Homo-oligomer: A and B are copies of this chain.
Amino acid sequence: VSALLTIGEFSRVTHLSVKALRHSDDVGLLQPADVDRSSGYRRYASAQAPIAHVIRRFRDLDMPLEQIRVVLDAPDVEARNQAIIAHLERMQQSLERTQSTVASLRALLEGTETTLSVEHRSVAAMPAIAIAEQVDWDDTEVWLGAALAELHGVLASHPDWRAAADAALYSTEFFAAHSGPVVAFVPITRQSAVAGRVQIIEVPAAELALTMHEGPFEDLDETYGALGTFVAERVLGAAGPIREHYLVTEADTDDPAQWRTEVCWPIRQPFIDGGGERDP
């Protein structure tokens, strides 16, 4: 015999606020067992309390209501557990990011001064196999990993067709709007059969100011800051995408401190190679 409770009683039984309960009703996540036709009064069955307790815990974990609905509507225990595990994994990743951000922040505030060495490089146009897409900022690392893996698949049977390291072009729009065109590419020595997302492009010639980034991608902003400042102070800036060359990556070592990425800024004209001071 499941009793009917007013919204106020149900809030005491579930520890959800009346406003939160009404909102869950509005979006269809947790609807009262009965609603009075004339007064609009909501009546909850006491048997609904366990569902509300589960909702409360997921909300404490910042799971969006929409996704809680997916979990609760899961057709079987397997699907439900899948959805829960997926959320817990995302939380775990966000936790790891948090920890490395804290480390990165500490380093930044301690302010070790580093010498920046910038090289000029004049690159000719080159053929490449490539995947070009609109990419959102927060998806970039995952997208790039998948795109490069797909390109590696094309070269799997002809490793000698590779002409240079993995690389990518990032449009100015991508930085300005945190969403925009990105091109992942691998330079090649000869034509190869391609299909699906993969296409053959010619990466345009460019004059580039280039420096080496040492460490995780998360800290790339500091290298961009140093290189961009170097270019701006010499009034060398030119239009065009920024290039990154992935020389040492996760595929080579698990220690992000060992990773090496060349960052290439488009410039108008050559300059005498040299060093500058990096800001603290």
- Whether A232 touches B3, Cβ cut-off 8 Å, given contacts A54-B109, A56-B221, A105-B61, is yes
A65-104: which have CB < 8 Å to B?
84, 88, 91, 95, 97-98, 101-102, 104
Q: Is the CB–CB distance between B108 and A53 below 8 Å?
A: yes
CB distance from A222 to the nearest CB of B (A): 6
Known: A12-B175, A18-B176, A221-B14. A232 touches B5 (CB 8 A): yes
Is A280 part of the binding interface, using a Cβ–Cβ cutoff of 8 Å? yes
Known A-B contacts A12-B172, A102-B88, A279-B49; the reply to A178 vs B17 at CB < 8 A is yes
Q: Is the interface of A mostly helix, strand, loop or mixed?
A: helix
- Quick one: CB contact mask for A1-19 with B, threshold 8 Å, 1 for yes? 1111100110111110111
Q: Of the candidates B13, B228, B237, which one forms a contact with A228 in the assembled complex, judged by CB atoms under 8 Å apart?
A: B13
**What residue of chain B has the Cβ atom nearest to residue A18's Cβ?**
B176
- Residue A255 interfacial (CB < 8 Å): no
Provide the residues of chain B in CB contact with A60, threshold 8 Å: 97-98, 101
Which of chain B's residues has its CB closest to A242's CB? B12
Min CB distance, A72 to chain B, in Å?
11
Give bound CA distance, A10 to B47, whole Å: 57
From B15, B18, B280, give the contact of A177 (CB < 8 A).
B18
- Count contacts on A: residues with CB < 8 A to the other chain: 60
Q: Which residues of B contact A1 (CB under 8 A)?
A: 233
- Further 13 A-B residue pairs, CB within 8 A, beyond A20-B178, A50-B225, A88-B102: A5-B228, A5-B232, A8-B172, A8-B176, A12-B242, A49-B225, A50-B279, A52-B225, A53-B222, A53-B225, A57-B108, A84-B105, A95-B95
**A residues apposed to B, CB below 8 Å:** 1-5, 8-9, 11-15, 17-20, 46-47, 49-50, 52-54, 56-58, 60-61, 84, 88, 91, 95, 97-98, 101-102, 104-105, 108-109, 137, 172, 175-178, 220-222, 224-225, 228-229, 232-233, 235, 237, 242, 279-280
22 pairs from A and B in contact (CB 8 Å cutoff): A3-B232, A4-B232, A8-B175, A9-B228, A9-B237, A11-B175, A12-B172, A12-B242, A13-B221, A13-B225, A13-B228, A13-B232, A15-B221, A46-B225, A49-B228, A50-B108, A52-B225, A53-B108, A56-B221, A61-B98, A61-B101, A61-B102
